[in-house]
Copies of this chain bind each other. A is one copy, B any other.
């Protein structure tokens, strides 16, 4: 299990951008379970963060000074600016973009950020739900799961969310408009899935893995699609725990289990952000942010994800705009 002492606090002078560059002050930092994989010492879809390097992370920041023609002081920007206060950019094309019009930092890092876009492509492109189908989402109260579940609802599916605790379940069936929610901390997930999905699960959108994935695999419908978005139950294991023992049900049900990485959809992010922003504006996607405060609390805030303590997108406010 990752722990606070895996991170160290370091102070350095505020960087000075080269001529033609600009300086950004980070305002808000977002946390994903996937970040756990970034600090494993093994190759993956992104290189590991090295010891002594700034921890990678999505942020929203504000430009405080600029000689760059594309950015002006006061602009809100987002990008992988890491767990730090200040970032200096040179005169070239920077890996940051301006916030979508009218988007708050919280919304930009949540529904319109990586987690929302992940939900969008994972559900629609990999899961391909059809109206009337039964969609089950694990980690359904999380930043990705809650958006995936609500997109499925918008697409006309019957949607069941799996989450931990009565408050999250009540939010799913209330504000989020899901057809049912299963509290994995109190209920037998397999038995409840059997009751709630008498014709089987057509799309299972998995953020959790472990016993929940196995329970779902046992109840997939013919030609089901299992979307592997993540496996938070496994990210902190020293040695890999057993995989889903019911995987051969993929044969019996002629079903597909498929993983994806949202970075592959980078060229289509605009499409996703536009549709998600529209749905949010129409009040069709409910969302929550869990905002903690102070960069010094970044490690502690990261750990909230693995304890299931966050309710909504896990964010950390580093500073308040405008500076």
The A interface, classified by DSSP as helix, strand, loop or mixed, is loop
9-residue interface stretch from A136-144, A227-235, A281-289, A304-312: A227-235
Confirm or deny: A174 has a beta carbon within 8 angstroms of a beta carbon on chain B. Answer: no
Contact A228 B251 (CB under 8 A): yes
Q: Which of A10-18, A65-73, A162-170, A257-265 is the contact stretch? A: A257-265
Asked if A259 and B264 make an inter-chain contact with CB atoms under 8 angstroms apart, the answer reads: no
CB distance from A264 to the nearest CB of B (A): 6
- CA–CA, A312 to B282, complex, Å? 63
How many angstroms from the CA of A248 to the CA of B232 in the assembled complex?
11
- Residues A201-237 near B (CB distance < 8 A): 209, 214, 228-231, 234
User: Cβ of A245 < 8 Å from any Cβ of B?
Assistant: yes
B255 touches A255 (CB 8 A): no
**Contact pattern, A 233-246, Cβ under 8 Å of B = 1, otherwise 0:** 01000001111111
Q: Is A268 located at the chain interface by the 8 A CB criterion?
A: no
Most buried by B among A45, A234, A247, A261: A247
A126 nearest CB across to chain B (Å): 9
Q: How many copies does the complex hold?
A: 2
Q: How many interface residues does A have (CB within 8 Å)? A: 32
Give every chain B residue within 8 A of A261 (Cβ-Cβ).
Answer: 251-252, 254
In the complex, which residue of chain B has the Cβ closest to the Cβ of A241?
Answer: B245
User: Chain B contacts of A243 at CB under 8 A?
Assistant: 214, 242-247
A5 within 8 A of B: no
Q: Do residues B251 and A230 form an inter-chain contact, with CB atoms below 8 A?
A: yes
Complexed CA–CA distance, A201 and B258 (Å):
16
For residue A173, CB closer than 8 A to chain B, the reply is no
Chain B residues with CB under 8 A of A253 = 259
Whose C-beta in chain B lies nearest to the C-beta of A243?
A: B243
Q: Are B257 and A247 in contact (CB under 8 A)?
A: yes
From A214, which residue of chain B is reached at the shortest CB distance? B243
A300 at the interface (CB under 8 A from B): no
Nearest CB on B from A222, distance (A) = 9
Interface centre among A45, A230, A243, A255 (most CB of B within 10 A): A243
Q: Which of A94-133 contact B (CB under 8 A)?
A: none
A44 to B258, CA, bound (A): 23
15 pairs from A and B in contact (CB 8 Å cutoff): A209-B248, A228-B247, A228-B248, A234-B248, A242-B242, A243-B244, A243-B246, A244-B244, A247-B257, A252-B261, A253-B259, A254-B260, A255-B258, A256-B257, A256-B258
Additional A-B contacts beyond A240-B245, A255-B258, A256-B258 (6; CB < 8 A): A214-B243, A243-B243, A247-B247, A250-B257, A256-B256, A256-B257
- What 9 A-B pairs come out closest when comparing CB atoms? A242-B242, A251-B259, A243-B243, A250-B259, A240-B245, A243-B244, A256-B258, A243-B247, A243-B245
